[in-house]
Amino acid sequence: MKICIPTETNKGKDAQAYSHFGSAPYFTIYDTEKETAEIIDNSNQHHAHGTCHPMNTLNGKKVDAVVCGGMGMRAVQKLNESGIKAYMAHPGTVEDIVNEFKQNSLKEITISNSCAQHGCH
């Protein structure tokens, strides 16, 4: 399974998770089967609220889940339409979040509990 975790830095498993999906400086894609991390630069991190397109950055990566501090309704919709579930993470490293994910202890982000603005988490 491939999990995309928006991160503050490009330090792989040691990178701190970023609080919001679309405006993260990097996306760390962690493959739970291979125990490897791929880091992608988010070229779309600076945008007006509601106008980000992080899926364009992730295009072709075949991600199964996104785990972050929060995301807006449109991002949740687009992920779900692509068969990708979103989960809410607590602050921590990629390694911390992957461990929580493997324990099934993360809450799914749905349309009803998505962010209405960047200050929601």
pLDDT for 99-111, tens place per residue?
A: 999 999 999 999 8
CA angle 5, 33, 3 (to 5 degrees): 15
How confident is residue 47, by pLDDT bands cut at 50, 70 and 90?
very low
CA angle 104, 58, 62 (to 5 degrees): 60
pLDDT for 8-30, tens place per residue?
A: 999 999 999 988 787 889 999 99
CATH number for the domain formed by residue range(s) 2-120: 3.30.420.130
Annotated domain spans of the chain: 2-120
Radius of gyration of the CA atoms of the chain, in A: 13
